[in-house]
Amino acid sequence: MTQIPASEYLINRELGILEFNRRVLAQAEDPATPLLERLRFLCITSSNMDEFFEIRVAGLKEQMRLNPEHVGAEGLTAKQVYKQVAKVSHNLVARQYELLNGDVLPALAAEGIRFHRRNHWTPEQADWIREFFFNELMPVLTPIGLDPAHPFPNVLNKSLNFAVELAGKDAFGRGSGKAVVQAPRSLPRVIQLPHEVSGCEHGFVFLSSILHAHVGALFAGMEVHGCYQFRVTRNSDLFIDDEENKNLRELLQGELPHRHFGDAVRLEVADNCSEEMKDFLLRQFHLTRDDLYQVRGPVNLVRLMNVPDKVERPDLKFPPFSPGMPAQLARQPDLFKAVTAGDILLHHPFQTFQPVVDFIRQAAEDPDVLAIKQTVYRTGTDSELMRHLIAAAQRGKEVTAVVELLARFDEEANINWAEKLEAAGAHVVYGVVGHKTHAKMAMVVRRENGKLKRYCHLGTGNYHARTARLYTDFGLLTCNPELCQDVNDVFQQITGLGDAGEHTYLWQSPFTMHARIIQAIREETERARRGEKAVIVAKMNALLEPRVIAALYEASQAGVQIDLIIRAVCALRPGIPGVSENIRVRSILGRFLEHHRIFYFLNGGEEVVYLASADWMDRNFFRRIETGFPVLDAKLKKRVINEGIKPYLKDNTKSWEMQPDGGYRRRARRGRGFEAQAFLLNLLAAKI
């Protein structure tokens, strides 16, 4: 096997994430994207960048503090990575606001959707806004003058705040010259004006503009010399000490409130902020100029995400669609009868998620069902599926829920569901210490003709009805005895204390999945060396694990044709002569978030197709409980190939091709345009 220097042939993860965010921002730049969706993509970019700083940049800062000499797999120290990250991030944010102010907002204004700036308010607008401030805002605002008795407040993570420069004395003779006003999170960041006041079809005003205009009312008798919005981003990773972990739920409940007050990692300020105030704020948060992001506009674009929902302009949004229903279920709504007749493949969001909900609902209501077991990673705060699980437990069925409490940013929702399930009599377990339970599995045990029979759902995505309309995922409903036995064994491992054992079909992390994938790659490599046709296609969110990358490089050198469809981060460099010239990497970004994981191996013509919950990352292979499951039915296997692989390889509209240096170029369109997601909507969605 070729020894490949990691520093030369691996791409840094943080820089790869920023490249992905560039591609997301490109959707907002694209004039072919409907206008209100362009605004939404700007907001998605901001949301992605928030998480990037909360987790990845926070991690870099921790490495710089605790282990500054450590060199990563790509040959860089944390400080070297951080310097590159800061440079790229500043450029990306600058482009984001340039696009907002110079392109998207003017285009919206031309369509009668205006964000009124305070220096352009009409007298009628100014009067309405003044009334709004005194009636709706001022009663809930708490100005904090800074002096020895009022030190700088503990600012919440990602909250909107205003730094105020003052002159004069207050009623007590105090005059520090500085104050902070914190905007409660309950307040909307964008206020819609009445049509008759706005003077246009849809008029909005930023909360920051309203407060800037009337901030003087909060400091009677003093003169306001400056008012600047600011926002701080904090380390939001939770630290759980396994040695101190006696009760994970109790530990998390105590830890979650501290997430809002972790160490600061980024400061965003308005472009009008004075140099003195910038330096003052940086000192308060122990940050440097590299951590400062000065923007021309709202410091939190994420809060504009709901603006498109407030505007009734279908012509400026993606066309509506109704997810399709598989033909088997349209003919036979009884899930157990339908699955007995044959495995059922669901392709979300093009096909409806409702059969998954119905699977648990029918199991809860069916007197012949004895037990239901399900993993819960992300399911949402208002989940019909969880309510059916609770109802099943209340009816006396054996309900086992494996709830992953450490699903990042969903911890509180999962704790709440765990408490409700336990109150209903369900068995709730929190997986295995040191391993997140990321597998997507549900199993129903039913008595039929005096015998017990298992039915299973396996998926690539979460049991979350809302994201099932936004993410591309596959789900499989089956009663295949061997596959269901494998699922049962995994549940037994998680809830009990036994050996891993051997599965007939399932690949499972942390035990067999990594080895099975390496083995499958090497088998294709050996076929290529024998002069046979050898093909690997893999679709996933991220590819980072070095040993898998090394195996793919070796396969490429042997002549295996490899296509990788990686939505976000890929540490492998394609197209390097003598190393990876037979590997092509593309990223598809469109209306829906590409999320399914598909592993295809030609296997000498006897095609092997696996679907999985896992990306090819260290954490998924070694620190998580994951499952990969084969598509055994020949027709369904062909469907996965024809729906999950071929359209994405053909896409020349939303496809980006990775270059050897880690950059991406939009795929050149030759001839007629083809968009995979549009093709699948036309193929699978219901006609409306």
**Two structure tokens written together for 640:** 């996965």
Q: How many CB atoms lie within 10 A of CB 236?
A: 20
**Two structure tokens written together for 500:** 């891993």
Distance CA 284, CA 650 (A): 52
Helix, strand, or coil here: 176? Answer: coil
90 is known as an active-site residue: no
Distance CA 526, CA 617 (A): 24
Catalytic residue among 202, 347, 388, 438: 438
CA atoms within 13 A on the CB side of 374: 33
**Two structure tokens written together for 184:** 């409660």
Provide the β-strand partners of residue 172: none
- Return the closest-CA partner of residue 412 out of 243, 356, 420, 439: 420
**Two structure tokens written together for 614:** 């896992």
Could you identify the residue written with the tokens 């790659």?
521
User: What's 261-328 look like in SS3?
Assistant: HCCEEEEEEECCCCHHHHHHHHHHHCCCHHHEEEECCCCCHHHHCCHHHHCCCHHHCCCCCECECCHH
| Chain-centre distance for alpha carbon 409 | 10
CA atoms within 13 A on the CB side of 441: 31
| Chain-centre distance for alpha carbon 447 | 39
Continuous segment of H or E residues that includes residue 63: helix 58-66
**Two structure tokens written together for 122:** 């009409």
Catalytic positions are 438
